Structure 1
Amino acid sequence: MAALFNRLLQSVGRYRIAGYLAAGLLIALVAGCGSLPTIVPDMARQPAQPVQLDGAHGPLTSQQSKAILNRLQSRGEETSIFDRHLALEEAIVGSPLMVGNKAVLLQDGPTTFQHMFTAIRNAKDHINMETYIIEDDEIGNRFADALIEKQMKGVQVNLIYDSVGAINTPRTFFKRLTDSGIKVLEFNPVNPLTAKKGWEVNQRDHRKLLIVDGKTAFLGGINISSVYSKGSFSRKSRQRHEGGTPWRDTHLQVEGPVVAEFQKLFLATWEKQKGEKLAAEEYLPPLANKGREVVRAIGSSPDEPYSLIYATLISAIGSAETSVNLTNAYFVPDPQLLAALKDAVRRGVDVKIILPGKTDSWLVFHAGRSYYAELLDAGVKIYERRDALLHAKTALIDGVWSTIGSTNLDWRSFLHNEEVNAVILGQEFGAQMQAMFEADLAASNLITREQWERRSISERLMEKIAWAWGYWL
C-alpha cells in the first residue's frame, strides 16, 4: 500500500529503507491476501451470443447492435476486439455497452478542474463525489467552497473520501462540509472505532468519480489536490510551478445513458459502507442520447470474486492484433499481465508502455523497474515520461478500444482497491487517445536494453528491495 507507506513514513523519516520495511510489515500483518484469476477465452458463459448494446430507452435489437459495431469496426484496423474480446468482456463485466454518449477527453488538472467547476455551478438537483484524496489546500478549498455554496442553495451534496488517501486532511475540513448539510462518508476508516462496515484497512477506495444531477460524470486519475494546478506540457507552466515537478494526468467527462451506470456504482459504495440515509433526490433521472460514443462503465471492488477491470484488460491485450499503448503511473505487473504483454509482441503487436521517470513513491517506482529487463528482452518498448510526474492510467488497443480510469497496473489496484474505468469503443475517440499518447511519447525517453544494463548498483539494490514488496504496494 504505497500511499499509506508514504503517509505513515512522514513521521519516521521518508528516506529510510528500514522505515519503509517496517511500515510494510505493519500493513502486511493487518491485511488479508488475495489472488488474481486466470483469464481464458472460455470464461465467457455464452460466447456464441451476439454482443448486446443498450441505449437511452433500453436494449437495442440484435440488428441495431450489430450495425453499430460494424460501423465502429469498419473505421479502424482489422482487430479481434469487436468479436472475440467483446463477447468475453460482456460476460465477465455485466454492465452494458451504452450507445448515445458524449465523451470529452481531459488532459491535466487545470482543464479538468475547469470542466468540473462548471458542472458543479450548473447543478440543479444533486452532486455525488467519490475521491481517494481531497486535500486541505487551494484546490481542495475551492471545491469545498463550491460544494457548500450549492448545498446552501438546495442542491444535495454527498461525498465519499478514502480514509488513507485523506489521512493528512484535518477533521475541521470535513466538519465545515457537514455543518453546511453535506453528507460525508469516510471509506474504511483507519481508526477501527469509527468503522461501520467492519475494519478492512487494506481495502481502499481509489476511485475518482464526480456525478452531477445524474447526467454528467467525471472519472479518471485526478484527485482533489493542488499538485494538479499546472499543466505538464507547457515549458512556462513547468517553470512557474511552485511545487516543483508538475503532474501529468488524464480524466474523462461523459454525458448520456452510461452516466446511470456510474451513478449506480456510487450508490452501491455508499450503501456497502453503511452511510447515513441519502436525501431523496432524482439520482437516476431519464437520460437522453448526447453523442455517438459507445461506452461501458466498469467498477471493480475487492468484494467481487476478481477485478473486472483486470479481467477485461487482460482479454483486450490478448485480442490485440496491431498495437497496445499503455500509460500508467504505478506499474507492478503480475505474471499474467507480463505474459499477455510478451505474447502480444510474439504475435507481431507493437507494445509500448509509458511509465514515470519521476515518482511520489520510490517503492512502486523501483518495483516496476525490476521488470524492465524481462520486458525489454521480449521486445516491449518502454518509455519514461520526463519533466512531469506521470499519474495517468489509460490504454489504447488496436486504435479502437480505449480505457480511462483510476486503475493502476499493480497488485493493489487489481486486488485491494475500489476502482472505476470507462471503456470507449471506436476509431474517432481512439484517434484522440493516439494523439495524446504520441504527445507523451515526445516528452518521454526510450529505455534501451543497453542503457538499462548500465544502471548503477544502488538502483539494482533498490529494485530488489522494492520487488520483494510488490504484492503489498
Structure 2
Amino acid sequence: MTCSSARCWLATLLTCWSLVACASLPTVEADDAKAKAAAIAAPRIQTATGQLSAGGSQALLKKRWAKGALDLQQQAALEEAATGVPLIAGNKVQLLFDGPATLGEMLKAIESAKNHINFETYIFDEDVLGNQFADLMLKKAAEGVIVNIIYDSVGTLTVPQAFFDRMRAGGIKLVAFNPVNPAKVRGNGWKVNNRDHRKILIVDGKVAFTGGINISDTYSKSSPFRSKTKPTDKKDVGWRDTHVKIEGPAVAAFQWLFIRAWTAQDSDDLRDAEYFPTPVIAGDRIVRVLGSAPGGQFEIFKAYQLAMQEAKKSIHITMAYFVPDQQTLGALKDAARRGVDVRLVLPSVSDSGVVYHAGRAYYDELLEAGVKIHELKLSVLHAKTAVIDGVWSTVGSTNLDTRSFLHNSEVSVIVMGDSFGAEMERAFQEDLRNSTEIKLDAWRHRPWSMRMKEWSARFMDYWL
C-alpha cells in the first residue's frame, strides 16, 4: 500500500483497535487439493466462444508444460479444486514497469474510452498526477462516457473531500469503500478494518489493468529498473512497481470483481452501460483472475501456497511487504531444503518502517534454511510478483502478509506458460542486479538496535 507515514500509522491503529479476536488463515495441503482435483477430468478453460472440452483443455495446457518444472495441467487442476475459479484463454497480457510507463498506458486507455470506465484504487491522491487522472475522467464524463470509481477510505484519508466532490459534480459516480466515519456507512455495518487494496481499471469492457500501482506522485519518476542512467540519489528515483495490461475474454472477470465490490458497499445502482461486450480473442495467454475479500474463500492465498508447495525448480518473488504467516514461511523453507532455488527480492527502503522491520525478523530462519534474500537498493519497492518454475507467474495487489490475505480485498492474475514466465524471469534478474544479497553470517552480526526494532515489530505482525 502506498501511504504517507500518518496514513500508515492511522491504518495500523484502526486495525488494532477494531479487532476483538484474530481471524486465521486456512491450512492448505497439496495432497488434499490433489484428492479433489482427481475428480476433475480436465481444468476448465473459458474462451471467447465458450468452455473448451476436456481434451481441448488438456492439449492447450500440455503445450505449455516444460519438463523439470510444474506440470501445468496438474497445477491448473489443483488451483481450480482449491479456488473454484476457471482459467481463461485467448488473452494478451503486457507487463508494465514503474509509474511513467504504466500510468501513460492507463491514461491512453481512458482517453480512448467510448462507453464506460470502471476504476478501483486504494489511493487516489490530490496531486499533479491525481488531478491529471481526475481531469481526464471528467472530460470523458462530459463526452457521455459512464465513469464509476471506487476508492478506499483509509487509502485516501488525507485527501480533501473537495477533490472527490468535484468529480461527483462533473457526473462521475463514486463510492468510498468502508468509510472511516461510521455515520457514513450504508447498510452493511462498520467494518473499518476491511480495506479495498485492489487496483483495477477497466475501459469499455475490452481492456483491464491491475497490479501494484496507485494514483500518486510517488510514481511520477521511474526507478533504476532497466534505466540506462543509474541515479545515486533517492530524490531522483520513483517507486519500483509492476502492473499488467490485459485484453481479451479475461477482462470480463475483472468487470465482475468491480461490480461485486460496488454492490457490496450498498451503493447506488451502476448506470446502464455495455459492461460485457462480446469477447474476442486478443492473444494466446491463459490466465486465472483471482479476487479475494475478507470473509471469503482465500483464493489468492490458496493459489500461492499450492504453487510454492509444488515448485520443482525455482521460486522467485519480488515483494513490497513481506511479513509471512507460518504456512508461507514453512513453504519457502521446505522448498529451499528440497533443492528449489528460492530467492526473494525485498525492500531496503520502505514507506512503512514497522512492516519493513517485521519482515526482517524472519530473515535468520529463512537464510538458515537456504532461502536467498536480496534487498532492492535506492528505490522504494512496491511490486507484488512471483514466478515459479518459470511457468507459473502472478502479478497483482497482494502482499505476502496477513493483512492482505485476511482483511483486504485484493486481486491477482495468474499467467500460465513459459513464454510469459521468461518475461517475468528477465524482470526478476534485473531486480537482482539492482539489489544487495543478505548473507547469513553478516546478518547475524547486525547491530542490536536493528534487532530490537525487528523484535518489537514482530509482536505486531498480525495487524500490519
Q: Which residue of 151, 168, 171 corresponds with 2:158?
A: 168
Q: Which residue of 31, 47, 55 corresponds with 1:63?
A: 55
Are 1:142 and 2:132 an aligned pair? yes
Cα separation, partners in 2 of 1:420 and 1:347, compared to 1, 3 Å: same
Are 1:431 and 2:434 an aligned pair? no
Cα separation, partners in 2 of 1:296 and 1:172, compared to 1, 3 Å: same
Displacement of 1:7 in angstroms is 1.6
For residue 158 of structure 2, give the secondary structure of its aligned residue in structure 1: coil
- Report the equivalent of 1:18: none
Q: What is the CA–CA distance in structure 2 between the aligned matches of 1:266 and 1:155, rounded to whole Å?
A: 17
- Report the equivalent of 2:342: 351
Q: Which residue of 293, 309, 321 corresponds with 1:301?
A: 293
Q: Which letter maps to 1:269?
A: A
What does 1:274-423 align with in structure 2 at a 5 Å threshold?
274-304=266-296, 306-423=297-414
Displacement of 1:239 in angstroms is 6.3
For residue 289 of structure 2, give the secondary structure of its aligned residue in structure 1: strand
Instruction: Give the TM-score of the pair, scaled to structure 2.
Output: 0.95
Displacement of 1:47 in angstroms is 2.5
- Report the equivalent of 1:212: 203
Q: What is the CA–CA distance in structure 2 between the aligned matches of 1:398 and 1:163, rounded to whole Å?
A: 38
For residue 256 of structure 2, give the secondary structure of its aligned residue in structure 1: helix
Displacement of 1:40 in angstroms is 1.0
Q: What is the CA–CA distance in structure 2 between the aligned matches of 1:263 and 1:9, rounded to whole Å?
A: 32
- Report the equivalent of 1:246: 238
Displacement of 1:85 in angstroms is 2.5
Displacement of 1:285 in angstroms is 1.2
Note if contact 2:43-2:86 (Cα within 8 Å) is conserved in structure 1. Answer: no
**What does the per-residue CA deviation read over 1:144-166, in whole Å, with 9 as the maximum and x for residues that have no partner?**
01100000000000000000000
Q: Which residue of 245, 250, 258 corresponds with 1:258?
A: 250
Are 1:72 and 2:64 an aligned pair? yes
Q: Which letter maps to 1:472?
A: W
Q: Which letter maps to 1:316?
A: A
Cα separation, partners in 2 of 1:346 and 1:84, compared to 1, 3 Å: farther
- Report the equivalent of 1:103: 93
For residue 430 of structure 1, give the secondary structure of its aligned residue in structure 2: helix
Q: What is the CA–CA distance in structure 2 between the aligned matches of 1:278 and 1:6, rounded to whole Å?
A: 33
Q: What is the CA–CA distance in structure 2 between the aligned matches of 1:46 and 1:460, rounded to whole Å?
A: 44
What does 1:36-47 align with in structure 2 at a 5 Å threshold?
36-41=25-30, 42-43=32-33, 45-47=36-38
Displacement of 1:81 in angstroms is 4.0
Q: What is the CA–CA distance in structure 1 between the aligned matches of 2:198 and 2:100, rounded to whole Å?
A: 19
For residue 27 of structure 1, give the secondary structure of its aligned residue in structure 2: helix
Instruction: Give the TM-score of the pair, scaled to structure 1.
Output: 0.93
Q: What is the CA–CA distance in structure 1 between the aligned matches of 2:57 and 2:14, rounded to whole Å?
A: 51
Q: What is the CA–CA distance in structure 2 between the aligned matches of 1:4 and 1:240, rounded to whole Å?
A: 20
Q: What is the CA–CA distance in structure 1 between the aligned matches of 2:100 and 2:4, rounded to whole Å?
A: 26
- Report the equivalent of 1:445: 436
Q: What is the CA–CA distance in structure 1 between the aligned matches of 2:53 and 2:147, rounded to whole Å?
A: 37
Cα separation, partners in 2 of 1:238 and 1:330, compared to 1, 3 Å: same
Are 1:112 and 2:106 an aligned pair? no
Displacement of 1:189 in angstroms is 0.4
Note if contact 1:238-1:246 (Cα within 8 Å) is conserved in structure 2. Answer: no
**What does the per-residue CA deviation read over 1:240-295, in whole Å, with 9 as the maximum and x for residues that have no partner?**
87x55520000000000011011100000000011111110011111100000001
Q: What is the CA–CA distance in structure 1 between the aligned matches of 2:239 and 2:249, rounded to whole Å?
A: 31
For residue 263 of structure 2, give the secondary structure of its aligned residue in structure 1: helix
Q: Which letter maps to 1:37?
A: P
For residue 148 of structure 1, give the secondary structure of its aligned residue in structure 2: helix
- Report the equivalent of 1:460: 451
For residue 385 of structure 2, give the secondary structure of its aligned residue in structure 1: strand
Note if contact 2:99-2:220 (Cα within 8 Å) is conserved in structure 1. Answer: yes
Q: What is the CA–CA distance in structure 2 between the aligned matches of 1:96 and 1:83, rounded to whole Å?
A: 12
Are 1:35 and 2:18 an aligned pair? no
Note if contact 2:295-2:406 (Cα within 8 Å) is conserved in structure 1. Answer: no
Unaligned segments of structure 1, at least 5 residues: 11-22
Q: What is the CA–CA distance in structure 1 between the aligned matches of 2:328 and 2:99, rounded to whole Å?
A: 29
Aligned residues: 457
For residue 87 of structure 1, give the secondary structure of its aligned residue in structure 2: helix
Q: Which letter maps to 1:431?
A: A
Q: Which letter maps to 2:218?
A: V
Q: What is the CA–CA distance in structure 2 between the aligned matches of 1:270 and 1:468, rounded to whole Å?
A: 35
Displacement of 1:79 in angstroms is 2.4
Note if contact 1:246-1:387 (Cα within 8 Å) is conserved in structure 2. Answer: no
Note if contact 1:139-1:224 (Cα within 8 Å) is conserved in structure 2. Answer: yes
Q: What is the CA–CA distance in structure 2 between the aligned matches of 1:351 and 1:253, rounded to whole Å?
A: 27
Note if contact 1:98-1:296 (Cα within 8 Å) is conserved in structure 2. Answer: yes
Unaligned segments of structure 2, at least 5 residues: none
